[in-house]
Each structure stands twice: as C-alpha cells, then as structure tokens.
C-alpha cells in the first residue's frame, strides 16, 4: 500500500496519499541505474529516501537543509519541490504525454482538473494537428483511408476513390 507522511503540529503522521490511491510515476531510463544502486539491500517496503537517522524525511528539514542549498548552488534559488512537480508535468506534455497520462502521474482526480491547471501546456495549434494527420496518412499506404475507433482499433475504409466517382 502507498504510504504518505504529513507534518501536523510538528508531529509526523503516517497515512495514505490524499486520494487514498496508488500513484504511478514514470522513471526515465537515465535514472533507473542510479535509483537501483540507491536501493540495493533495502526491503520492498523500505523508504527510498530517508533522513540521516534512517526515518522518513521531514519536509521542513529537508527543504531548508538539503533542497534549498542544492537549488541555490545551481543558480535556482527559490525553487520549490512543487516547482519540480510542474516541471515534470511540463516535460511529460512536451514528450507527447496525453492528458490522461499526466492526470495519473500527478494523482489528479480527473483529466479536467489536470487541464484546469496545465491547459496552456497542451498545444491547440490546429495547423500542427493537420500536419500530424497528414504525416500519419503519408506514413501508411496512401491507397487506403483508415479511421480509429474508441477502443483503439482501426477500421479499413477501403480504397480511396478518385474525385468525381
């Protein structure tokens, strides 16, 4: 089960994430080896990142002692962990992720919530859409028209007819 920690009145409280659901977060290949090396010898239920004493990280301590100095050292003073969440969403959209994938990654209750926050990241350039559709047809046999179905299938519409037929 997914576990989350919150600081309430200076005390660490363990519970489930806000929506009580698991969240899937994609890990790019370039991080897999480093992450694998970091968790060597840890049990399946162990925390991946821990405080110096081995317990859960406390947001306030981590931000002031580790995150803020690290951010400042690379010229990003004032950066917050939440800014990284927005960056991850931006990078996912730029990589071609659809709104449902971004919704699941961020743990939003609905795609409309994701669009309310990140609508500006999803392109609305209709010329680009038309170009991609043209590229898709060009990449396939131009003698056939195809259309997608709601379940992801493809229906062959047969040979294209010449104009006037």
Q: Is the pLDDT score of 37 beyond 90?
A: yes
Residues 6+ apart with CB under 8 A from 102: 89, 92, 93, 114, 118
Query: Rounded to whole angstroms, what are the CA distances from 81 to 14, 63, 106, 130, 131?
Result: 20, 8, 13, 37, 37
Q: Is the pLDDT score of 28 beyond 60?
A: yes
Mean pLDDT of the chain: 81
pTM of the model: 0.63
Query: How confident is the model over 106-145, as pLDDT tens digits?
Result: 888 899 999 888 888 877 667 777 887 788 777 765 555 5
Query: How confident is the model over 58-113, as pLDDT tens digits?
Result: 888 899 999 999 999 999 999 999 999 899 888 888 888 888 999 988 888 899 99
Please report the pLDDT score of residue 83 as a whole number.
92
Q: Is the pLDDT score of 147 beyond 60?
A: no
């Amino acid at each position: 089960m997914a576990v989350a920690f919150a600081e309430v009145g200076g005390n660490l409280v363990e519970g489930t994430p806000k929506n009580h659901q698991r969240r899937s977060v994609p890990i790019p290949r370039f991080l897999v080896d480093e992450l694998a090396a970091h968790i060597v010898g840890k049990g399946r239920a162990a925390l991946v990142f821990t405080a110096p004493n081995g317990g859960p990280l406390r947001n306030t301590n981590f931000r002031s002692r580790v995150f803020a100095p690290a951010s400042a050292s690379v010229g990003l003073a004032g950066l917050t962990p939440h800014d990284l969440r927005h960056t991850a969403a931006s990078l996912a959209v730029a990589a071609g992720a659809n709104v449902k994938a971004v919704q699941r990654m961020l743990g939003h209750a609905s795609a409309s919530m994701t669009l309310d926050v990140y609508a500006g990241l999803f392109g609305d350039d209709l010329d680009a859409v038309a170009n991609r559709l043209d590229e898709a047809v060009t990449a396939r046999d131009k003698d056939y028209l195809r259309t997608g179905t709601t379940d992801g299938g493809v229906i062959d519409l047969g040979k294209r007819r010449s104009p006037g037929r």
